[in-house]
Amino acid sequence: MTKGIVIGYDGKRAVQNMTGLGNYSRVVVGTMSAMYPDNEYVLMAPRMRENPRLEPLLMRENVRVVTPATAIGRGLPWWWRSVAMTSQMAELGLDLYHGLSNEIPLSAGMAPCATVVTVHDLIWRKFPQDYSAPDRRLYEWKYGRSARLATRVIAISERTRRDMMELWGIDPDKIDVIRQGCDPIFSRPVTYEDRERCRSRYSLPQRYILSVGTLQWRKNQLLAVKALSALPPDVRLVLVGGGRADYIAEIERCIAAEGLGDRVVRLQNVPFDDLPALYALSVFASYTSRYEGFGLPLLEAASTGTPSIACTGSCLEEAGGEGAVYVDPDDVRGYVQAALKLLDEPSFHTRLANKGKRHAARFTPDAFACETMKTYNKAILDFSLKGLK
């Protein structure tokens, strides 16, 4: 077998998280290890835990997890991940280290290899009300430092790239935009049995709008709630996800004021494997966020053949393409008009669904892996040239 390179990853979320950044981490490692099997892929995690979503990756010969090598590192995982990890990178013989969730070790300037960091968003700068003051200060310092220290930076959208340039002054030539694909589960056909099982499990109505995401002010689910009273009475709104108590209370007040009763359904702790069927059964998806780094639920919906209503103002058009209708985040009337068009005009619904499928098909694992490997190669070259200076 041809000898490849050794790539280390920040494995904390791949090991510990079931959704969100955990999904992104597993998609990166899974795609790269499949496309470039001669390389060795090392997930560096502060601790190991059982995770059924990680197990398929660990069955591959070229993927493994390493945890802190010392008692101090095991006892102080935050210190290991922020500082001591760099010495273990040398012991592992890494050619490159990739921080998958906005950060690399604070000691990355002394790392023995090239470093890449994926920055997902700078939302705390745009919507500080969704974050505590200590968290905002920590993110600004830690993530900004990581982007400046890294050999190269991956932005998941053009919007995030512009934000890094404008707010952090990062050299645009150092940033590569690589839009993430969604989990392959969303591209697989949803069977009749999957649909019926899902409808029965969650007592789903015949016609419902699906909104997937944390309930918080920035995500703006209230727009769909306000529009619901102007839609046919048999149409329900299904909100999937936990959220902030204050925003949930605001949604509940709106439900009461509009007399919506049981027309808004909340689902929590939904298994990831049920999401494709939930999308496929819905009349359309709703993702009305005021600001995102990318907007993965739009790509998930498009992959299942489900059109969406989304909002202008950030980067959601990059994720949804022509598979969605876009309205202003405060335009209730515009949302109602778009919803009625999707509900009442089957040809428009089908046309949007087909365009969305074509858009989603461009986010192939091959393209993602190829672009990511280009960044790795550039980082390794840049690091070697720096060492010659």
Q: Is the Cβ–Cβ distance between 292 and 131 less than 8 Å?
A: no
Q: Do 47 and 171 reside in the same domain of the chain?
A: yes
Q: Do 329 and 376 reside in the same domain of the chain?
A: no
In angstroms, the Cα distances linking 84 to 8, 71, 73, 77 are 14, 12, 7, 9
Q: Residue 356 has which token pair?
A: 């969305």
Is residue 270 predicted with pLDDT exceeding 80? yes
Q: Is the Cβ–Cβ distance between 26 and 59 less than 8 Å?
A: no
Is residue 1 predicted with pLDDT exceeding 50? no
**Mean pLDDT, residues 210-222 taken together:** 95
Q: Residue 234 has which token pair?
A: 């048999």
C-alpha R_g of the chain: 22
Give helix 346-360 / helix 332-344 axis angle, nearest 10°.
100
Is residue 389 predicted with pLDDT exceeding 70? no
Q: What confidence score (pLDDT) does residue 387 get?
A: 66
Q: Do 20 and 155 reside in the same domain of the chain?
A: yes
pLDDT tens per residue, range 276-327: 999 999 999 999 999 998 999 999 999 999 999 999 988 999 999 999 999 9
pLDDT tens per residue, range 154-212: 999 999 999 999 999 999 999 999 998 888 899 999 999 999 999 999 999 999 999 99
Q: What confidence score (pLDDT) does residue 19 get?
A: 78
Q: How many domains does the chain have?
A: 2
Q: What confidence score (pLDDT) does residue 388 get?
A: 63
Range of the domain at 236: 184-360
pLDDT tens per residue, range 29-77: 999 999 999 999 999 999 999 899 899 999 999 999 999 999 999 999 9
For residue 389, being part of any structural domain is answered with no
For residue 66, being part of any structural domain is answered with yes
